[in-house]
Amino acid sequence: MTFKKTADTLIKGAHTLDRDYYTSKKILSQEYENIFFNHWICAGRESELSKAGQYKIINIGSESIIILKNHNNKIRSHYNLCRHRGTRICEKPNGKFSKSIQCGYHGWVYSLDGNLIGSPHMDTIQNFNKTDYGLHPVPLQVWEGFIFINLSENPTDFKKSFAPIIGRFKQWNISELYTFEKKIYKVKGNWKLVIQNYCECYHCPILHPDLAAIHNYMSGKNDLFEGAFLGGYMEFNKNKNSITESGELCCPILPGITNENENRVYYYSIFPNMLLSLHPEYVMFHTVWPEGNNRCIVECSWLFNKHIISSNKYQPQDAVKFWDMTNKQDWHISELSQLGIQSKMYSPSPYSGQESLLAAFDKYYLSIMN
């Protein structure tokens, strides 16, 4: 990965957001409309759906989306509501359709492509045409094996929106990696606190002494520092080779990694809900989902080469254990932040020079909200 000359400096006068951005239900509603219903959001991995008919459900605010693999092994997505009476079709978070999708209310049946193929007792209704009542489609794109959906009526062009990072991570060949483990966390804090915490390591020496022993928070450089994509790298300390319980590699380095990147971990936030961490031998990613103004769900997955997962020679669990510990430290401090921000005595204060990406996140966020 080649770095261009950067201008990663703290925005003059940048300070933390006002209390309402973390506590107001009105602002959360605005976030759903302006952000989560209007941007490309990460909805997991294509490899989660390996067989025709397999599906997963994404719930975000008032919306529910079915993401599935059709009979042509293509990933498709539809709004999770029947076109008859608007009833939500799927209740379970994941599962497998046999050959079609049937609403449990009045038995309307849809193909896996969303076409209405069965509508009991509608043949006597004048001018009723099945082609007019298919499931509402949701725009979907797959990038590096990640599924992205967009709930906007006029979604932006994915390739143009993601131009700053398309091809950027080719050394890791992420599309060929598979999920070794996935953990789901419930955090009693606003979703932005999780994103903002990820975007700085100012807190690492105090909150993460084990992580600070692996890489120094002053050792890195950001190469994406404005807009929807933020982040850069940190270098490992002497005698450390990866982020695991031992600080050693838990399996062989990914084959495409250059010598320069064997000693680095890259951290990126992808607005609004994805966090991507690139290690020499594995990739970790988080997705963050609001569950109210003061709660969120965080899903974290660890990706490895398929032969590493199927082998008993290596210790990918060492990476999972280390990051699970670190994740929980982050979620706890985020919850304490949520509690403190709710106080009448909270007021915005200046960001430090180590929090330039937080200021950049806030700037981009506010530009969309205002």
What is the pLDDT at residue 8? 80
Regarding beta strands 221-226 and 229-235, do their DSSP bridges make them parallel or antiparallel, or are they unpaired? antiparallel
CATH number at residue 214: 3.90.380.10
- Give the per-residue pLDDT at 2: 44
Predicted pLDDT of residue 4: 46
Report which DSSP code applies to 15: B
Whether residues 25 and 47 fall in one domain: no
Yes or no: say if 141 and 148 are a contact pair by the CB < 8 Å rule: yes
Place of tokens 């997963």: 56
H/E stretch holding 146 reads strand 146-150
Q: Looking at 104, 122, 155, which one is the last position of a domain?
A: 155
Judge if 94 and 71 occupy the same domain: yes
247: helix, strand or coil: coil
Determine the length of the chain: 370
Domain that holds residue 75: 40-155
**Same domain membership, residue 94 and residue 67:** yes
pLDDT digits (tens, 9 = 90+) for 270-306: 999 999 999 999 999 999 999 999 999 999 999 999 9
Check if the beta carbon of residue 106 is closer than 8 Å to that of residue 120: yes
Count of Cβ atoms closer than 10 Å to residue 335 Cβ: 16
Q: What are phi and psi of 76, to 5 degrees?
A: -130, 160
Pair 180, 303: CB distance under 8 Å:
yes
| 328 and 238 belong to one structural domain | yes
Placement of tokens 């099945």 in the chain: 130
* Residue 295: burial class (beta carbons within 10 Å; 0-12, 13-18, 19+): middle
Residues 91 and 172 in one domain: no
Q: Is residue 2 part of a domain?
A: no
12 and 143 within one domain? no
Split into its structural domains, the chain has a count of: 2
My answer on whether 316 and 207 are in the same domain is: yes
246 and 99 both lie in a single domain: no
pLDDT value of position 9 = 87
Q: What is the pLDDT of residue 5?
A: 41
Choosing from 155, 179, 212, the residue where a domain stops is 155
pLDDT at 103: 98
| 219 & 123 share domain | no
Q: Is 322 within a domain? A: yes
Contact in structure between 149 and 139 (CB atoms under 8 Å)? yes
Separation of alpha carbons 262 and 242, rounded Å: 9
| Tokens matching residue 103 | 């609403």
User: CATH no. for residue 148?
Assistant: 2.102.10.10
- Residue 194 shares a structural domain with residue 227: yes
Residue numbers of the chain with a pLDDT score lower than 70: 1-7
pTM flag (> 0.85): yes
In this structure, the answer to whether residues 197 and 121 fall within a common structural domain is no
In Å, how far are 40, 108, 114, 359 from 120, measured between CA atoms? 36, 7, 17, 56
Q: What is the C-alpha separation between 258 and 348, in angstroms, rounded?
A: 42
From 130, 155, 180, give the residue that closes a domain: 155
